[in-house]
Amino acid sequence: MPPSVPDNFPSTPGKVKMERSNYFGRFASRWHSTASARLLSCSAILLALTLFVLFRMSLYNGADQYLTRVTPIPQAFKPDHVWETQVRQSCLPKKSEGLIVLVTGAAGFVGTHVSLALKKRGDGVLGIDNFNSYYEVSLKRARQELLEKQEIFIIEDDINNKELLKVLFDLIQFTHLMHLAAQAGVRYAMQNPGSYVHSNIAGFVTLLEACKDASPQPAIVWASSSSVYGLNSKVPFSESDRTDQPASLYAATKKAGEEIAHTYNHIYGLSITGLRFFTVYGPWGRPDMAYFSFTRDILKGKPISIFQGANKQDLARDFTYIDDVVKGCMASLDTAGKSTGSGGKKKGPAPLRIFNLGNTSPVTVPNLVSILEKYLKVKAKKNTIKMPRNGDVPFTHANVSLAHAQLGYNPTTNLDVGLKRFVKWYLSYHGLEPSLKSQRS
Ligand SMILES: O=C(O)[C@H]1O[C@H](OP(=O)(O)OP(=O)(O)OC[C@H]2O[C@@H](n3ccc(=O)[nH]c3=O)[C@H](O)[C@@H]2O)[C@H](O)[C@@H](O)[C@H]1O
């Protein structure tokens, strides 16, 4: 049988394999001359095919495990009348000139607080959240209840669901997108890298695609992270400092988000503001964060691990109270400036901004623990251990002069005051101090 590909067809440009091919042909024809050799060849082909199929299956299962462990796969989307009514009502501003904001990650920590603040001042707010199981879903449900009481509807879906976003952006002319949905956590990135790519990169691009196609395009404010400063040792961290040395995959995906934002601003005229949050804490916070998990373990009498850096140096964070961050988010929305494009076409340059939202006064982790002990009235069982090599950085410290000048940002809550409010909420939320049950913070 003539070969389907000429013998001298190069496998890569500039390489001709004629000699090897002829040699192989002669060798093969000798093998095929006996019946036993034919049987052997068939078995070898079968074995190779089986191994190939098994290999592909293992690859598929591997990727699937990363995507489904915390992140439900988006389903096809079919709106109905009830859904449309809920969406429209939630988006209706209660004041003239009110914003219409789509908040992603609305059942998350910062998302809940920002949604409530927007609604309180009369803006229209619609949430979207996939309620993944990275931490207790019951806490996300409790936050959702808070929002529902204020007539804020949360669509339960994934930001990667293009069909849903298309329907939504056709239905509502959002003035702003407040994008807070993310796979958070610095250390978890080593266990589940795929979920960071899925939420922080693929999810962000899916949203930006929906925004750039919208007419008119909304302005976008989104959560970057102090972690982009990585191994930067110049303090305090300014927006113009280098951010090309991420210490974790989480940080790398946030940094990628900043570059992706630049692209969409440049090509499509989207107004985009990135906010570098510095270890945000407070009532309704995230149970995976140290202040929260320390509180839980101290109350249970369980030991806590306090990490130390090189030369037994205490680690420090510029812990930032939630109410200060919310003010920074609101000011960013109010000053965002318009996107200039529509339907995927840029009409002119649009704002591209990045701001630090920190507290400007770092506190060491042992000091954080002392404050918790004071308000919990319980002594912690402390194990001081060397910082694991899992993406942590030794300290963070924000310079917020840019946010102060352009947003009027001025953090006013120190860690002592903020943790006092957190502990009060924590005890109330867990029914440990019944008299406080009705209070929110
Ligand atoms: O600003 C951000 O961009 C990030 O802030 C937050 O990350 P981090 O600053 O690392 O906060 P967090 O985990 O509370 O650890 C606090 C300190 O406790 C130390 N730490 C932690 C755990 C432990 O068991 N022991 C310990 O000493 C630990 O070494 C650290 O020194 C968000 O989680 C992240 O999503 C992102 O938003």
CA dihedral 437, 130, 222, 118 (to 10 degrees): -40
Q: Render pLDDT for 266-287 as a digit per residue (tens, 0 to 9).
A: 999 999 999 999 999 999 999 9
Q: What is the pLDDT of residue 53?
A: 43
How far, in Å, is the centroid of ligand 1 from the Cα of 286? 11
Active site (annotated) includes residue 250: yes
Q: What is the pLDDT of residue 433?
A: 76
Q: Render pLDDT for 346-393 as a digit per residue (tens, 0 to 9).
A: 999 999 999 999 999 999 999 999 999 999 999 999 999 999 888 899
Q: What is the pLDDT of residue 46?
A: 55
Lowest-confidence segment of 197-201, 257-261, 391-395 by average pLDDT: 391-395
Distance, CA of 110 to CA of 81 (rounded, Å): 30
Asked whether residue 141 is assigned to any structural domain, the reply reads yes
Q: Render pLDDT for 292-312 as a digit per residue (tens, 0 to 9).
A: 999 999 999 999 999 999 999
Nearest residue (by CA) to ligand 1, atom 7, is 279
* pLDDT above 80 (res 320): yes
Q: Is 315 in the pocket of ligand 1 (CB under 6 A)?
A: yes
Asked whether residue 16 is assigned to any structural domain, the reply reads no
Examine the predicted complex and report whether its ipTM is higher than 0.95. yes
Closest CA to 427 of 368, 377, 379: 377
254 Cα distance to chain centroid: 8
* pLDDT above 70 (res 55): no
| Residue of 298, 317, 319, 324 best suited for mutating to test ligand 1, as the one with most atoms within 8 Å of CB | 317
Q: Which domain holds residue 222?
A: 81-280+322-358+395-412
Asked whether residue 45 is assigned to any structural domain, the reply reads no
pLDDT > 70 in the chain, percent: 81
Tokens of 145: 């209840």
DSSP state of 151: T
Q: What is the mean pLDDT of the chain?
A: 87
Asked whether residue 374 is assigned to any structural domain, the reply reads no
Asked whether residue 315 is assigned to any structural domain, the reply reads no
Asked whether residue 302 is assigned to any structural domain, the reply reads no
Q: What is the pLDDT of residue 18?
A: 33
Please identify, by atom number, the ligand 1 atom nearest to the C-alpha of residue 281. Answer: 14
Closest CA to 165 of 230, 119, 116, 211: 211
Q: How confident is the model at residue 342 (pLDDT cuts 50, 70, 90)?
A: confident
* pLDDT above 50 (res 396): yes
CA dihedral 64, 70, 76, 80 (to 10 degrees): 170
- Single-letter amino acid, residue 430: H
Q: Render pLDDT for 162-173 as a digit per residue (tens, 0 to 9).
A: 999 999 999 999
Q: What is the pLDDT of residue 38?
A: 57
Structural domains of the chain, count: 1
Q: Render pLDDT for 10-41 as a digit per residue (tens, 0 to 9).
A: 333 333 333 333 433 343 344 444 445 555 55
How far separated are the first and last CA of the chain, in Å rounded? 81
Q: How confident is the model at residue 73 (pLDDT cuts 50, 70, 90)?
A: low
- Are 88 and 201 in contact, with CB atoms under 8 Å apart? no
Asked whether residue 182 is assigned to any structural domain, the reply reads yes
Q: What is the pLDDT of residue 343?
A: 85
Q: What is the pLDDT of residue 47?
A: 55
* pLDDT above 60 (res 80): yes
Tokens of 358: 């920190």
* pLDDT above 60 (res 438): no
* pLDDT above 80 (res 97): yes
Give the domain CATH number at 333: 3.40.50.720
Residue 284: partners with Cβ closer than 8 Å, 6 or more residues away:
109, 112, 113, 139, 143, 146, 322, 425, 429
Q: Render pLDDT for 212-246 as a digit per residue (tens, 0 to 9).
A: 999 999 999 999 999 999 999 899 999 999 999 99
The more confident residue out of 8 and 335 is 335
What region does 355 belong to: left with phi over 0, alpha with psi -120 to 50, or beta?
beta
Q: How confident is the model at residue 95 (pLDDT cuts 50, 70, 90)?
A: very high
Catalytic residue among 188, 250, 264, 426: 250
Please identify, by atom number, the ligand 1 atom nearest to the C-alpha of residue 315. Answer: 31
Distance, CA of 1 to CA of 317 (rounded, Å): 72
How far, in Å, is the centroid of ligand 1 from the Cα of 63? 27
Q: Is 317 in the pocket of ligand 1 (CB under 6 A)?
A: yes
The residue-averaged pLDDT of 323-337 equals 98
219-225/303-308 β-pairing: unpaired
Listed in sequence order, the DSSP H helices in 345-414 are 365-376, 401-407
Asked whether residue 101 is assigned to any structural domain, the reply reads yes
Q: What is the pLDDT of residue 440?
A: 42
Listed in sequence order, the DSSP H helices in 218-284 are 249-268
